[in-house]
Chains A and B, each alone.
Chain A
Amino acid sequence: MNTDNPLVLGIETSCDETGVGIVRGTELLANTIASSMDEHARFGGVVPEVAARAHLEALTPTIEQALETAGVALADVDAIAVTSGPGLAGALMVGVGAAKALAVALEKPFYAVNHLVGHVGADLLRDDEGELELPTIALLVSGGHTSLLHVRSLTHDVELLGETIDDAAGEAFDKVARLLGLPYPGGPHIDRAAATGDPRAVRFPRGLTLPKDLEKHRYDFSFSGLKTAVARHVERMRDDGLDVPVADIAASFREAVADVLTAKAIAACRDLGVPRLLLGGGVVANARVRELAAERAEAAGVALRIPPLSLCTDNGAMIAAIAAQRIMAGHEPSSLDVAADSTLPVTVVQA
């Protein structure tokens, strides 16, 4: 195998995007994605069985399309990589089954890697910025996860500082959107509605930011209380026969989420003396989160990195990138009997 600059095909099926990426070392050759998002729209959130069915249908066409985009043949690939967790169990298993079969049939090594570390590894594939410097704090936020990481090495040293103790931030966006009569997915629609609203119209609660919560949950997040507070507020207005100011509520809700996310991320940078923050996950599409992160990072002397959106949302290229890092660092392939692990801890970069 080429271990200096390996050609790796990565498969990602942990949530609702079927992603296949092809990289050569840190060079991005293909990043092909089929999303089942539209199929979940009428349910107001990702339905695991619907996602798993869609992965099976999309997977081989997506692999073929990625190969065509990259201009390589399967036989040229040095290794096959896959997300083995964390994520939705039934969805993960489609990717794991296919990746193992590809590796065996091609007689290529198999690398099962961590989805969250993949989000950080996505930054390696950018060609618009200088190299990623480590250590860095990473804030990964999407419909499926809200995690704050301390990344000292992409191949073997990642620490979970905190995560959501209830809903993922993206889920909160979906639920509040529904409450306000906005479509799924909530993130972009809330963002749009919030653009003309007053973020100070309502002071919604910031979860786990009180001194007593900070003792135990300094870097953890909670959005369940916020969601309930928005619901209570809207219900009261409707009960009183008032028109709900959607733009103001959206802006105030978005402000609360952006405030907590960025405050905790910057606090981690300060506390740990790490002057670097990386954002990942679909939330980077949120204008206010980006803006507030940039503002606070600058004030704190923290260098902020935000990869392009196509690398921030779930994709197979980031999985291939992490496997390539492991290969270049001399790590052995994963065993062919590794399980899809819906709760794979972030400390396990490769299963």
Chain B
Amino acid sequence: MLLAIDTSAGTAVAAVAGNGRVLAERSTADTRRHAEVIGPFLAEVLAGADAEAAGGNADPLTGVVTGIGPGPFTGLRVGIAAARAVAIARGVPLLPVPSHDAVALDLIEGGVAAGRFCVVTDARRREVAVTEYAASLPVPSVVRSARLEPRLGFAPDEGVVLYEVTEIPATALAHVAAARLAAGATFPDPQPLYLRAPDVTMPTGPKRVTS
């Protein structure tokens, strides 16, 4: 069983059994309450999943999947911090997955996307985060990894269909990780895809207070 956590858009938590069956799932599109809802969501999903495993209806937890963004930093960090904590608490590996991969898999499996397409999420400050894919299974192939583009005037290359979403499906995030594990594929580092340097103003020397 895999537990998947993503806070790159709203907050999404899901537990998926080894056979792909969704055991428990909670999500909200709210982009302002990650640190609040992560607690109850995790408690409900883990309680449901642990009960299924205890009853012999599912395998025990074997990994924690963390959506590494891109996404607004403050919220994104909450889910990654939580996933890292669950992994050390349960003694299972952390499996980092770019959040857009989950959306891409959902679009391909749902028969929505085919050929070349891109997944777009809000990056605030009039920018969007864009990842370009080629439809493939079991794992979508990344044609161009995540980048920022101005929201106004951004158009994908010809023939590339754009899908903008406001939520990341945690179940699909778990499915991507399971497919990577099954294929023996590697996972990226568990670092957030910030795509932007921190906001800082370099000191220019003390400002005069007298004229």
Q: Which residues of A contact B (CB under 8 A)?
A: 42-44, 47, 49-50, 52-53, 55-56, 59-60, 63-64, 74, 89-90, 92-106, 110, 175, 178-179, 228, 231-232, 235-236, 335-340
- Tell yes or no: B202 within 8 A of A by CB: yes
- Tell yes or no: B142 within 8 A of A by CB: no
List residues of chain B with CB within 8 A of the CB of A49: 73, 198-200
Closest Cβ–Cβ distance, residue B38 to chain A (whole Å)? 5
Chain A contact residues: over half helix, strand or loop, or mixed?
A: helix
Closest Cβ–Cβ distance, residue B81 to chain A (whole Å)? 4
Q: Give B88-122 as 1s and 0s: 1 = Cβ < 8 Å from A's Cβ atoms.
A: 11100000000000000000000000000000000
- Tell yes or no: B55 within 8 A of A by CB: no
Cβ-defined partner of A53 (8 Å) among B34, B88, B198, B210: B198
Nearest 6 pairs between A and B by C-beta? A336-B39, A105-B89, A101-B82, A97-B78, A49-B198, A101-B85
- Tell yes or no: B33 within 8 A of A by CB: yes
- Tell yes or no: B37 within 8 A of A by CB: yes
Given contacts A52-B73, A60-B88, A74-B89, contact A94 B36 (CB under 8 A): no
Q: Which residues of B contact A (CB under 8 A)?
A: 7, 33-40, 42-43, 46, 73-74, 77-86, 88-90, 192, 194, 198-203, 205-206, 208-210
Closest Cβ–Cβ distance, residue A344 to chain B (whole Å)? 13
Q: Report whether B200 and A98 are in contact in the complex, using a CB–CB cutoff of 8 Å.
A: no
List residues of chain A with CB within 8 A of the CB of B89: 74, 101-102, 105-106
Closest Cβ–Cβ distance, residue B85 to chain A (whole Å)? 4
22 contacts between A and B (CB under 8 A): A44-B203, A47-B198, A50-B198, A53-B198, A56-B81, A59-B81, A60-B88, A90-B73, A90-B74, A93-B35, A97-B34, A97-B77, A97-B85, A99-B85, A100-B38, A101-B38, A101-B83, A231-B206, A231-B210, A336-B39, A337-B37, A337-B40
Cβ-defined partner of A60 (8 Å) among B73, B85, B199: B85
Q: Report whether B39 and A337 are in contact in the complex, using a CB–CB cutoff of 8 Å.
A: yes
Closest Cβ–Cβ distance, residue B15 to chain A (whole Å)? 12
Bound complex: CA A105 to CA B198 (Å): 31
Given contacts A47-B200, A105-B89, A339-B33, contact A179 B206 (CB under 8 A): yes
Bound complex: CA A236 to CA B89 (Å): 59
Cβ-defined partner of A94 (8 Å) among B46, B78, B198, B199: B78
Closest Cβ–Cβ distance, residue A296 to chain B (whole Å)? 31
B90 and chain A: residue at smallest CB distance: A105
Closest Cβ–Cβ distance, residue A266 to chain B (whole Å)? 31
Q: Report whether B36 and A338 are in contact in the complex, using a CB–CB cutoff of 8 Å.
A: yes
Bound complex: CA A50 to CA B37 (Å): 24
Closest Cβ–Cβ distance, residue B144 to chain A (whole Å)? 25
A336 and chain B: residue at smallest CB distance: B39
Q: Report whether B209 and A105 are in contact in the complex, using a CB–CB cutoff of 8 Å.
A: no
Q: Report whether A42 and B202 are in contact in the complex, using a CB–CB cutoff of 8 Å.
A: yes
Closest Cβ–Cβ distance, residue B71 to chain A (whole Å)? 13
Q: Report whether A336 and B202 are in contact in the complex, using a CB–CB cutoff of 8 Å.
A: no
Q: Report whether B35 and A97 are in contact in the complex, using a CB–CB cutoff of 8 Å.
A: yes
Given contacts A94-B78, A179-B206, contact A56 B192 (CB under 8 A): yes
B94 and chain A: residue at smallest CB distance: A60
- A sample of 18 more A-B contacts (CB under 8 A), given A97-B85, A231-B209, is A43-B203, A50-B198, A52-B77, A53-B73, A74-B89, A89-B74, A93-B74, A99-B85, A100-B39, A101-B81, A102-B85, A102-B86, A103-B39, A175-B206, A178-B206, A232-B210, A336-B43, A339-B35
